[in-house]
């Protein structure tokens, strides 16, 4: 019984210790990133790494989601005699529900693992210590640039996911029942406003903050050589995905309250 209590106490202490260290790390990154000199060259490189190199992956994910939603929606709506609602259903499902969360999870898998493994490798090979020895702040050079790149690129990548999903969803529908793209877009966005879709797109900036912050945190606190590198990459993806899903729950409620 005593060992169980000790184990539970250790888990609780480890839980709060992890969040405490994350808070300290976040403050160090914010303080370093907000003060000059700014690492513009590294930021541009990270924008390319996170943005353009991830675009093919999110485009394929969006294309697959568009086809799946199209097939499922057409079948379900046909059963209830509501096939005319297909364009609006597809547009709503992609732009408000599936597009943002799929983009967040895909980017977490690709970028989160990459950042975690890269920084962990630099940590165990003492490259980060060498950067500090050269009077360069590693929080500014390595963490702030990657986190900011994730924040800026996630909404743009979400737009790419949404566009590919809508295009392939329309194409899948057209193969069964011919429907012009103009009619599809007109019917899908009829009665919709920017407030219905823009908050859902820009909430992915929060996903980018979570992905970049956790990946950098896990990478820069790595210990244990090659095993630690693998553990950092795994934890970056697992924890990042978990917190992205939890953030989605909170943000959905927040958006419904602020943009009714």
Helix ranges (DSSP H) in 34-144: 40-47, 55-79, 86-92, 99-107, 113-124, 127-133, 138
What's the pTM?
0.91
pLDDT greater than 70 at residue 2 = no
Percent of the chain at pLDDT > 90 equals: 46
The predicted pLDDT at position 106 comes to: 94
Supply the DSSP symbol for 141. Answer: I
Q: How far is CA 160 from the centre of its chain?
A: 13
For 20-77, write each residue's pLDDT tens digit: 889 999 999 999 888 888 889 999 999 999 988 999 999 999 999 999 988 888 777 7
What lies within 8 Å, CB to CB, of 259 at 6+ separation is: 195, 196, 199
Q: Where are the beta strands (DSSP E) in the chain?
A: none
- Which range in 23-32, 80-89, 175-184 is most confidently predicted, on average pLDDT? 23-32
């Amino acid at each position: 019984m005593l060992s169980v209590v000790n184990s539970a106490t250790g888990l609780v202490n480890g839980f709060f210790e992890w969040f405490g260290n994350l808070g300290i790390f976040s403050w160090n990154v914010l303080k370093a990133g907000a003060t000059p000199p700014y690492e513009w060259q590294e930021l541009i490189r990270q924008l390319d790494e996170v943005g353009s190199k991830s675009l093919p992956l999110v485009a394929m994910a969006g294309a697959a989601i568009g086809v799946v939603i199209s097939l499922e929606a057409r079948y379900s709506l046909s059963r209830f005699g509501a096939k005319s609602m297909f364009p609006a259903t597809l547009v709503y499902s992609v732009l408000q529900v599936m597009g943002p969360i799929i983009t967040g999870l895909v980017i977490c898998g690709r970028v989160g693992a990459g950042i975690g493994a890269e920084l962990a490798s630099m940590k165990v090979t003492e490259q980060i210590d060498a950067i500090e020895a050269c009077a360069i702040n590693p929080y500014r050079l390595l963490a702030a640039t990657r986190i900011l790149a994730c924040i800026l690129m996630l909404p743009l990548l979400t737009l790419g996911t949404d566009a590919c999903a809508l295009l392939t969803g329309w194409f899948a529908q057209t193969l069964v029942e011919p429907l012009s793209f103009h009619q599809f877009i007109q019917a899908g966005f009829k009665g919709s406003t920017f407030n219905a879709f823009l908050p859902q797109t820009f909430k992915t900036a929060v996903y980018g903050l979570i992905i970049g912050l956790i990946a950098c945190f896990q990478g820069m606190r790595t210990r244990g050589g090659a095993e630690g590198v693998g553990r950092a990459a795994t934890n970056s993806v697992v924890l990042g995905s978990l917190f992205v899903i939890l953030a989605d729950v909170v943000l959905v409620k927040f958006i419904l309250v602020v943009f009714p």
